[in-house]
Amino acid sequence: MDRKALDRVVYGLVWLACLAPLLWLAWRGFSNDLGANPIDRLIRELGVWGLRLLIIGLAITPAARLLRQPRLIRFRRTVGLFAFAYVLLHLTNYVVTDQWFDWTAIGKDILKRPFITVGMAAFALLVPLAVTSTNWALRKLGPVRWRKLHRLTYLIVPLGVVHYYMLVKADHQPPLIYGAIVAALLGWRVWEWARKRRAAGA
Ligand code: HEM
């Protein structure tokens, strides 16, 4: 198989892997397998998959460097866009099935429940990244400004973890584990940045 064909196969597999949780959730929904409170379960599952994909997106650059596989970087945008799609569905589910389009109640929720405020802030910051994910936007902004804007993920992903941590009532272990992974991924970036600065100064 030549390189182009292999690239297409890998790309297809990445798409399939990103879509699989959604298809699995849809299947479980249709077969009444989402427990006693399916709406709540669906919101939670979409949220957790949104967060997982955001973290995977954050892990691609360190993985590409450490494994010496720069071609991995090409999948960052696809994974990021899928993360956005899951979070958008998470939010849509909340608006439609949890709040029944009651915008006053949603507004009150954003102001009164801090975990909703934090989730909404993370979503609001995600929107410009999703909108500028086209090749056209990349050309318009130029690579330097585009990269700077997309550094917002360093804020968005921790906000996603904080949102998760704030809403759990009993078992704080899962959000803490996600938090530790995010801290390690951001820590690696700080270390890389310091290493490059030292090398430039030497
Ligand atoms: C980047 C943005 C966001 C991420 C990564 C995210 C992630 C999550 C995660 C991981 C959970 C918990 C899942 C679990 O318990 O297994 C969750 C729950 C939830 N999120 Fe989000 N979320 C985001 C934005 C939002 C927004 C914008 C809203 C609504 C305005 C929202 C509303 C909720 C609600 C209502 C729950 C369920 C709370 C409960 O069942 O008590 N989230 N989210």
Residues 6+ apart with CB under 8 A from 82: 18, 19, 53
For ligand 1, atom 8, the nearest C-alpha belongs to 47
Query: What are 17-53's pLDDT values in tens digits?
Result: 999 999 999 999 999 999 999 999 999 999 999 999 9
Q: How many of the other CB atoms lie within 10 Å of CB of 152?
A: 15
CA distances from 126 to 45, 64, 192 (A): 19, 23, 25
Query: E strands along the chain, which residues?
Result: none
Residue 111 is encoded by which pair of tokens? Answer: 């102001």
Q: 3-7, 26-30, 47-51, 85-89 — which is least confidently predicted?
A: 3-7
Please tell me the distance between residue 142's alpha carbon and the centre of ligand 1 in angstroms: 33
- % of the chain residues with pLDDT over 70: 100
Residue 48 is encoded by which pair of tokens? Answer: 């957790």
pLDDT over 80 (residue 58) = yes
Q: What is the mean pLDDT of residues 115-121?
A: 98
pLDDT over 90 (residue 72) = yes
Query: What are 124-176's pLDDT values in tens digits?
Result: 999 999 999 999 999 999 999 999 999 999 999 999 999 999 999 999 999 99
Please tell me the distance between residue 132's alpha carbon and the centre of ligand 1 in angstroms: 24
How many whole angstroms separate alpha carbon 20 and alpha carbon 17? 5
pLDDT band at 202 (very low <50, low <70, confident <90, very high): low
Q: Give residues (CB < 6 A) around ligand 1.
A: 40, 43-44, 47-48, 50-51, 54, 87, 90-91, 94, 116, 119-120, 122-123, 126, 156, 160, 163-164, 167
For the CA of 169, the closest atom of ligand 1 is 41
| 61 Cα distance to chain centroid | 15
For the CA of 98, the closest atom of ligand 1 is 35
How many whole angstroms separate alpha carbon 68 and alpha carbon 202? 24
How many whole angstroms separate alpha carbon 182 and alpha carbon 179? 5
